C-alpha cells in the first residue's frame, strides 16, 4: 500500500464512504433544508454551489483533513514562491507571477522575475496597439485585418479558448484564426479566405521545435512570400512567441516582433504570458490585463482562504472523492454559455496532461486513481446528445455546470430558457424520478396496466448524480480569468494530494519518437524498420496504395 492509501485521512475517508454511499442526495436535501447555505461559497461575482454532491459536513471535514495531511497550503506557498516544484524538469511553475498584480517581487534562482514579466507586457501592449490602431501596417501598406496563430497544445488551446470566450469584446474588422493540426487541411482551409496583404501570423511555441507548429509555420511563410512576391514581407507579417529566441531568429522573424517567455511557464499554463498575444490583439491589451486581474483575484483567494472555504481546494477534493472512493473515471464540464464552448477542450489539456500520471513524485507506482477523463460541450446542446447516459446510464459522471446570470446577447426569453435548462439538469440529476413517481405519471397518461409495467423501468431516473454549479454575473475578462485560475488550482490541489508532478508531460514523448522513425519510412528514404506486425502492415499498405 502507498503512503497515501495507508494514511489516517485516507482510511477515515474509506470508512466514511461506506456510510455515504447508500445515502441519496434527495433525502439529504429533505433532512437538511440549509444544505445550499452550508455548501456554497461566494467570491466576488462568482457563486460556487457544491450542495448537490454526495457529501455531508463530515465528508467535507475529512476531505479537508486529507488536504491538511498532504500539506496543501505548504505546497501552494512553494509554488507561489518559485520553488522548483516541477521536479522531473527541475523548473519552477510560476504562471502566477505572470498575473501578479501586486508590487511583490517573485524570485526564481534568486532573480526577481517581475521586471521581465512587466517588460514583455509592455512590448505586447505596444505591438497590439500598433496593429489595432493601424500604425503597424503590412508589407504593402495595408492595415492588418486577420491574425493567424500557429501553435498547438498550450500554445493554441488557451488563446483560442479565450479569444472565443471574449469575442463579444473583440475589435470590429479584426479576426483571429488558429491553426494547430499538422493536417494540411487546417492551414489551407484557414488561408483560403485570407488576403496575405492584411494577414499577420503569430508562431507560438515554447520550444520552437514542435513538429506540427514548425511545419505549419514553414508552409504559411511560403504562402505569404508567394502571394506577396517578396521575402522581406516576412518582417511585417510574422511575429513569434517562444522561450527559444535562437530558433525564432533562425526562422527569420524580426526580433522586434519576438515576444519572450520563460521555462518556468508550463505550456498549458502559458496563456497568461506572451502566448496570450492573440488575445491582446483581438480584444486589446486593457482587456488582457483585466483577464490577468481575474487570475490574480483567484490566486489571492487560493492562497488566503481557509481550506474549507477555498473554492479550488474544495473542487479538487470533491474530484478526489469521486475518482478514488466512488471509482468515477470521467468528469464532465458543461458551460451554459456559448462563448465558453471551447472551455472543455482547454480543460482537457490542463487536467489530463497535468494529472494523467501513474507514478508519484518519487517515481513510485501509485495504487490509487489519478486524473479523470475530462470532456464536455456547451449546454443545451449536450442535453440532446449525451445527457441520456448521465441520467440513466450505468456510470456516475460528476459534472460541473457553468452559467452567467446575464447574457451578453439578451434577446427575447433565450437566457431565461437557457438558465431554466441548466438548473433543471442539475436538479434532475440529483433528485431523479422514483418508480412511484414514474408510475403515477403513467397512470395519469392513461396507460393500461400491462403497457405501464413494461414501460415503467425505462421511466425511472436513479438520481443521486453529483454536480457543481458555478454561476457568475456576466462573462467578462476578469471573470474568465477567475474561472481559468480556479481550474488550474483545482488541478494543483489534486496533484498535491495524489503526490504527483502536474507540470511535466513525459507521456507525449513516445508517440513523437516513433513518428520520427516512421516518417522517413513513409517517405521511402529508409526501409521499413522492424515494427510490430500491425504497424509494418499499415506502412506497407500505405506504400502499396499511395
Ligand atoms: O506535446 C505536448 C506539448 O509539449 C504540450 O505540453 C505543449 O503545450 C505543446 O506540446 C506545444 O509545445 P510548444 O509550445 O513547445 O510548441
Q: Which of 209, 251, 267 is the pocket-test mutation for ligand 1 (most atoms within 8 Å of CB)?
A: 267
Q: Residue 505: enclosing H or E segment and its boundaries?
A: none
Closest CA to 486 of 359, 333, 259: 333
The active-site residue, picked from 3, 250, 414, 512, is 512
The pLDDT score that the predictor gives to residue 347 is 98
Grid coordinates belonging to 263? 521555462
Cell of 479: 471573470
User: What is the C-alpha to C-alpha distance for residues 514 and 510, in angstroms, rounded to an integer?
Assistant: 6
Cα separation, 414 vs 417, in Å, equals 5
Query: Does ligand 1 lie within 6 Å of residue 154's CB atom?
Result: yes
Specify the DSSP element, H or E, that contains 354.
helix 354-355
**How far apart are the CA of 154 and the centre of ligand 1, in A?**
6
- Residue 43 β-bridge partners: 46
Question: Which grid cell is 425?
Answer: 439538469
Query: Which ligand 1 atom sits closest to the C-alpha of 275?
Result: 14
Residue nearest ligand 1's atom 1 by CA: 508
Q: By three-state DSSP, how is residue 258 classified?
A: strand
With a threshold of 0.85, does the pTM exceed it?
Answer: yes
Number of other residues whose CB lies within 10 A of the CB of residue 524: 10
Provide the 10 A C-beta neighbour count for residue 507: 12
Å from CA of 208 to ligand 1 middle: 9
Query: What's residue 546's pLDDT?
Result: 86
Question: E strands along 279-357, which residues?
Answer: 330-335
Find, among 475, 452, 444, the residue nearest to 291 by Cα: 475
- Is residue 271 in contact with ligand 1, taking CB distance under 6 Å? no
In the three-class reduction of DSSP (H, G, I as helix; E, B as strand; rest coil), residue 503 is classed as coil
Task: State residue 43's pLDDT score.
Answer: 98
Contact 274, 203 (CB under 8 A): no
> Rounded CA gap, 494 and 228, in Å?
51
Known catalytic residue: 237? Answer: no
How far is it, in rounded angstroms, from Cα 427 to Cα 466?
10
For residue 527, the model assigns a pLDDT of 74
What pLDDT was estimated at residue 482? 98
Q: Rounded distance, CA 178 to CA 187, Å?
A: 9
Distance 180 CA to ligand 1 centre (A): 11
Whether residue 220 contacts residue 191, with contact meaning beta carbons closer than 8 Å, is answered with yes
Cβ–ligand 1 distance for 508 under 6 Å, the answer yes
What residue owns the CA closest to ligand 1's atom 5?
A: 153
From CA 180, how far away is CA 224, in angstroms rounded? 18
Count of all residues that appear for the chain in the document = 546
Catalytic: 512? Answer: yes
485: part of which helix (H) or strand (E)? helix 477-498
Per-residue DSSP letter, 243: S
Distance CA(540)–CA(522), nearest Å, equals 9
Is 353 marked active-site?
Answer: yes
Predicted local distance difference test score (pLDDT) of residue 525: 72
3-state secondary structure of 535: helix
Q: In the chain, how many H helices and how many E strands?
A: 25, 13
Is residue 505 lining ligand 1, measured as CB closer than 6 Å? yes
For ligand 1, atom 6, the nearest C-alpha belongs to 267
Handedness of CA 307, 309, 311, 317 (dihedral sign): positive
Tens-binned pLDDT, residue by residue, of the chain (546 aa): 999 999 999 999 999 999 999 999 999 999 999 999 999 999 999 999 999 999 999 999 999 999 999 999 999 999 999 999 999 999 999 999 999 999 999 999 999 999 999 999 999 999 999 999 999 999 999 999 999 999 999 999 999 999 999 999 998 999 999 999 999 999 999 999 999 999 999 999 999 999 999 999 999 999 999 999 999 999 999 999 999 999 999 999 999 999 999 999 999 999 999 999 999 999 999 999 999 999 999 999 999 999 999 999 999 999 999 999 999 999 999 999 999 999 999 999 999 999 999 999 999 999 999 999 999 999 999 999 999 999 999 999 999 999 999 999 999 999 999 999 999 999 999 999 999 999 999 999 999 999 999 999 999 999 999 999 999 999 999 999 999 999 999 999 999 999 999 999 999 999 999 999 999 999 987 777 789 999 999 999 999 998
Angle at 431 between CA 452 and CA 28, to 5 degrees: 135
For the Cβ of 268 lying below 6 angstroms from any atom of ligand 1, the answer is yes
Judge if the beta carbon of residue 502 lies within 6 A of ligand 1. Answer: no
Active site residue: 34, 384, 450, 458, which one? 384
Amino acid at each position: 500500500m502507498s503512503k497515501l492509501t495507508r494514511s489516517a485521512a485516507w482510511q477515515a475517508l474509506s470508512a466514511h464512504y461506506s456510510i455515504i454511499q447508500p445515502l441519496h442526495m434527495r433525502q439529504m436535501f429533505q433532512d437538511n433544508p440549509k444544505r445550499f447555505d452550508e455548501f456554497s461559497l461566494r467570491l466576488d461575482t462568482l457563486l460556487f454551489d457544491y450542495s448537490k454532491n454526495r457529501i455531508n459536513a463530515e465528508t467535507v471535514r475529512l476531505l479537508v483533513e486529507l488536504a491538511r495531511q498532504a500539506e496543501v497550503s505548504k505546497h501552494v506557498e512553494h509554488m507561489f514562491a518559485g520553488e522548483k516544484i516541477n521536479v522531473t524538469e527541475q523548473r519552477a511553475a510560476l504562471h502566477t507571477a505572470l498575473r501578479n498584480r501586486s508590487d511583490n517581487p517573485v524570485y526564481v534562482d534568486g532573480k526577481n522575475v517581475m521586471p521581465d514579466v512587466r517588460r514583455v507586457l509592455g512590448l505586447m501592449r505596444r505591438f497590439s496597439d500598433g496593429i489595432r490602431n493601424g500604425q503597424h501596417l503590412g508589407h504593402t501598406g495595408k492595415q492588418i485585418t486577420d491574425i493567424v496563430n500557429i501553435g498547438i497544445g498550450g500554445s493554441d488551446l488557451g488563446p483560442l479558448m479565450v479569444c472565443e470566450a471574449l469575442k463579444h469584446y473583440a475589435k470590429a474588422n479584426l479576426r483571429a484564426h488558429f491553426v494547430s493540426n499538422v493536417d494540411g487541411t487546417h492551414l489551407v482551409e484557414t488561408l483560403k479566405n485570407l488576403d496575405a496583404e492584411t494577414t499577420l501570423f503569430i508562431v507560438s511555441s515554447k520550444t520552437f521545435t514542435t513538429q506540427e507548429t514548425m511545419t505549419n509555420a514553414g508552409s504559411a511563410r511560403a504562402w505569404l512570400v508567394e502571394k506577396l512576391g517578396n521575402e522581406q514581407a516576412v518582417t511585417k507579417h510574422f511575429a513569434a512567441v517562444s522561450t527559444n529566441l535562437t530558433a525564432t531568429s533562425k526562422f527569420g522573424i524580426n526580433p522586434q516582433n519576438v515576444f519572450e517567455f520563460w521555462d518556468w511557464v508550463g505550456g498549458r499554463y502559458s496563456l497568461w504570458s506572451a502566448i496570450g498575444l492573440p488575445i491582446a490583439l483581438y480584444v486589446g491589451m486593457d482587456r488582457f490585463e483585466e483577464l490577468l486581474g481575474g487570475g490574480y483575484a483567484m490566486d489571492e483567494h487560493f492562497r488566503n482562504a481557509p481550506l474549507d472555504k477555498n473554492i479550488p481546494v474544495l473542487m479538487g477534493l470533491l474530484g478526489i472523492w469521486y475518482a478514488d472512493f466512488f471509482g468515477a473515471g470521467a468528469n464532465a464540464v458543461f458551460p451554459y454559455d456559448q462563448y465558453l464552448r471551447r472551455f472543455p477542450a482547454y480543460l482537457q489539456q490542463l487536467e489530463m496532461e497535468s494529472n494523467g500520471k501513474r507514478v508519484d513524485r518519487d517515481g513510485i507506482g501509485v495504487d490509487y486513481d489519478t486524473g479523470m477523463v475530462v470532456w464536455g460541450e456547451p449546454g443545451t446542446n449536450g442535453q440532446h446528445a449525451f445527457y441520456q447516459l448521465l441520467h440513466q446510464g450505468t456510470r456516475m459522471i460528476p459534472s460541473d455546470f457553468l452559467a452567467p446570470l446575464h447574457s451578453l446577447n439578451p434577446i427575447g426569453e433565450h437566457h431565461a430558457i437557457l438558465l431554466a435548462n441548466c438548473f433543471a439538469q442539475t436538479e434532475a440529476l440529483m433528485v431523479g424520478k422514483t418508480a412511484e413517481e414514474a408510475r403515477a405519471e403513467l397512470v395519469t397518461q392513461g396507460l393500461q396496466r400491462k403497457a405501464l409495467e413494461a414501460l415503467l423501468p425505462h421511466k425511472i431516473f436513479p438520481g443521486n448524480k453529483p454536480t457543481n454549479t458555478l454561476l457568475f454575473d456576466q462573462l467578462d475578462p476578469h471573470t474568465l480569468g477567475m474561472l481559468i485560475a480556479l481550474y488550474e488550482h483545482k488541478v494543483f490541489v489534486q496533484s498535491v494530494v495524489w503526490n504527483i508532478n502536474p507540470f511535466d508531460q513525459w507521456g507525449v514523448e513516445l508517440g513523437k519518437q516513433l513518428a520520427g522513425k516512421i516518417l522517413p519510412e513513409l517517405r521511402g528514404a529508409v526501409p521499413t524498420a522492424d515494427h510490430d506486425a500491425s504497424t509494418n502492415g499499415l506502412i506497407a499498405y500505405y506504400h502499396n496504395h499511395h
